[in-house]
Structure 1
Amino acid sequence: MTKNLVDEVEEQRHEVVVDSYTQMWSELINQFKAGDVEIDPLYQRGFRWTVDQQTRYIESLLLNIPTPPIFLAEKQNGSFEVIDGLQRFSTVVKFFCEEIKGLTSKVSAAGAPVENDLNIPTILSHAPILKGLEKLSRATMPDTLLRTLRYARVQVILLKKESSPLAKFNVFTRLNRSGTTLSNQEIRNCSARLTESPFADQLMAVANSEFVCDALKMSVKDRASMGVQESILRLIAFGNYKPTTAKLEDFLDEVMYSISSGGMKFDENEKKKVTDVFKVIYNAYPDGEAFRFRKNGKFTGGFSPNLFDIVAVGIYLNLSKCKKVSVDRMRKLIVELHDQDEAIKLTGAGSNARLKMIGRVAFGKKWFSKG
């Protein structure tokens, strides 16, 4: 059996013939111009990255932040097709599309939005690190930075044509199915540990504290993707910081880094304050009702982050007072806020706009100051 398995491994390894090297993006673009690299094989999904995602990738190239490799497969005629990395490859092509004559590609499907049309130059959006990138395009970016992008290197892993068709199929499916996408909070926790800070573990400890999970009553899926930890971070963030960006994820990233790098002390007193907030909420509504919308006299639907901002942050900012009020009074405060026009506006369309985020915190602070 062992010998047969060894023979099988050796046989299958010979089916996969690969080469690995680094290449400048200018070289890949030139290969694309010449028709030697195809980014629209039938089995690939279309270009779907948002402008924000495209901007982050351009920012990474400018800052020499390591990015995942591009996987190419060599065709029998010697040209190549992208089997993993279409979104990144398309991002660079779109940014430099004015330099590519007669650009046509099935990657940009008919009727594709402007942000995914490879024939329309990219106008970059807000970037987490390089604030000056916003609204820049190839036509307006300084020549020095354009050269930095062109000469930025990317690792290329080439599946050579000597590989069997089955090997090519297996490589593609493994690349697209083998990993589980990390949630934003999982990424934050991993990043925070690089600073050797205990904050990620402290968030986990609070998440496992009595009353917290019951007060939130999140779905199994949300809990598995660290939704409880993210809610705790959200509470600390809005309770102690003011958003400097219109993007919630960037704001939470900034706060996670700030606390992890010592910008704010998360000591036992702060931990107790956070857990006391959830205890107050749990005593009033032990099954997560405080974070559900109320319609026709009943709490319905799933967990609402927008209601969380009003209720949890409002109580956090008035904790001493809220700890003294009766359970009936707290229930009444939570129920009656659903009848407030201001609260409805702040939790509706465009709720993640910066002014609405700030507005929810201000409303919650005012509402629960009534005690």
Structure 2
Amino acid sequence: MASKRTAEQLADVLFPEALEQEDFADGVLSIPPEQRKLHTETYDFTVETIVEKLIDGSIFIPKFQRRYVWSDAQASRLIESLIIQCPIPVIYLNQESDEKLSVIDGNQRLTTMRKYFSNEFPLKGLTAYPELDGSRFFELDPRFQRHIQNRTLRCIVILKDTHPQVKFDVFERLNSGATKLTPQELRHGLYFGDLMSLATKAVKESNFLTALEIKNDKRMKAEELVLRFWALSENHANYKKPLAT
């Protein structure tokens, strides 16, 4: 029995992501079956409409998303894909309580479109239309401009009446970037508000990081520990696994 427990502990160390995924699944199973359904709506927005919504804030990039990392060559390839009618992967959005839409998956693509419409970079390294190399949006022939603006992108919106734990599970499933988001980074994006802000303030204004000997806490581990303390000290009697939820 002891050897089995040791093997399980070793597996936890070697495969922590698998353990976290099980926690997310357990969290969904903890809610009533009728509430486990994902409520979505599908929209085909034009590129022009999406850019307008990004500018006016009705679609926004939440704080938990990684920063914009695409090079001009990568960004140019997306714009060229729009020109040649190449299919663009689905964009996933989350409906907030105020009806605004936060980006779950598609940050790099949407930011690229906004930046190009704002003339922030010239096209470079094009393979299908090298004649357009060096062109910013305002320098394109108006017919090219309208063609790009009128392209439609499939957007799937996760509606606000979806159970929060189901949303959390979906975020984890879509969290497939090169650097996976931690559970706390997902929480920070999903439930950002006064409580999350207070946890961040508590960490910054206390000696917490020094006490834990944490020199760099970019992944929000300290905030997660603060939230765990508050949650368990407030309502420990009703605690149910998994802790990730």
| Alignment TM class, shorter chain as reference | 0.5 to 0.7
Show the counterpart of 2:115: 94
Measure how far apart 1:178 and its partner are.
9.3
Q: Which runs of 5+ in 1 are unaligned?
A: 1-6, 99-120, 180-371
Runs of 4+ in 1 over 2 A off after TM superposition: 7-10, 12-15, 176-179
Counterparts of 1:178 and 1:13, CA distance in 2: 28
Q: Which amino acid aligns with 2:67?
A: G
Show the counterpart of 1:69: 90
2:42 to 20, 43, 55: 20
Could you give the per-residue CA deviations for residues 245-304 of structure 1, whole angstroms, max 9, x where no partner exists?
xxxxxxxxxxxxxxxxxxxxxxxxxxxxxxxxxxxxxxxxxxxxxxxxxxxxxxxxxxxx
1:43 to 64, 71, 78: 64
SS of 1:59's equivalent? helix
SS of 2:41's equivalent? strand
Measure how far apart 1:62 and its partner are.
0.7
Show the counterpart of 1:167: 166
Measure how far apart 1:19 and its partner are.
1.1
Counterparts of 2:128 and 2:174, CA distance in 1: 29
Counterparts of 2:108 and 2:34, CA distance in 1: 30
Contact 1:26 1:150 in 2 (8 A): yes
Counterparts of 1:28 and 1:34, CA distance in 2: 10
Measure how far apart 1:133 and its partner are.
2.2
Counterparts of 1:63 and 1:10, CA distance in 2: 47
Counterparts of 1:30 and 1:84, CA distance in 2: 18
Q: In the alignment, is residue 123 of structure 1 matched against residue 122 of structure 2?
A: yes
Change in Cα spacing, 1:178 to 1:97, as seen in structure 2 (3 Å) is closer
Q: Which amino acid aligns with 2:45?
A: Q
Counterparts of 1:66 and 1:148, CA distance in 2: 14
Counterparts of 1:8 and 1:146, CA distance in 2: 50
Show the counterpart of 2:156: 157
Measure how far apart 1:21 and its partner are.
2.2
Counterparts of 1:52 and 1:11, CA distance in 2: 47
In angstroms, what is the RMSD of aligned CA positions? 2.3
Counterparts of 1:13 and 1:164, CA distance in 2: 6
Counterparts of 2:135 and 2:96, CA distance in 1: 37
Measure how far apart 1:155 and its partner are.
0.3
Counterparts of 1:128 and 1:11, CA distance in 2: 50
Q: Which amino acid aligns with 1:77?
A: D
Change in Cα spacing, 1:91 to 1:160, as seen in structure 2 (3 Å) is same
Counterparts of 2:35 and 2:117, CA distance in 1: 38
Measure how far apart 1:9 and its partner are.
10
Say how many residue pairs are matched.
Answer: 150
Measure how far apart 1:139 and its partner are.
2.1
Contact 2:36 2:163 in 1 (8 A): no
Normalization by structure 1: what TM-score?
0.38
Q: In the alignment, is residue 55 of structure 1 matched against residue 55 of structure 2?
A: no
Counterparts of 1:43 and 1:170, CA distance in 2: 16
Change in Cα spacing, 1:10 to 1:58, as seen in structure 2 (3 Å) is farther
Normalization by structure 2: what TM-score?
0.57
Contact 2:82 2:148 in 1 (8 A): yes
SS of 2:98's equivalent? coil
Show the counterpart of 1:200: none
Q: Which amino acid aligns with 1:68?
A: P
Larger radius of gyration: 1
Measure how far apart 1:10 and its partner are.
8.3
Q: Which amino acid aligns with 2:38?
A: V
SS of 1:129's equivalent? coil
Could you give the per-residue CA deviations for residues 9-37 of structure 1, whole angstroms, max 9, x where no partner exists?
98276442111121101111222222111
Contact 1:22 1:153 in 2 (8 A): yes
Change in Cα spacing, 1:43 to 1:131, as seen in structure 2 (3 Å) is same
SS of 1:87's equivalent? helix
Q: Which amino acid aligns with 2:72?
A: V
SS of 1:88's equivalent? helix
Change in Cα spacing, 1:50 to 1:82, as seen in structure 2 (3 Å) is same
Show the counterpart of 2:136: 137
SS of 1:177's equivalent? coil
Counterparts of 2:72 and 2:32, CA distance in 1: 44
Counterparts of 1:48 and 1:158, CA distance in 2: 24
Counterparts of 2:87 and 2:94, CA distance in 1: 22
Matches within 5 A, 1:235-314: none
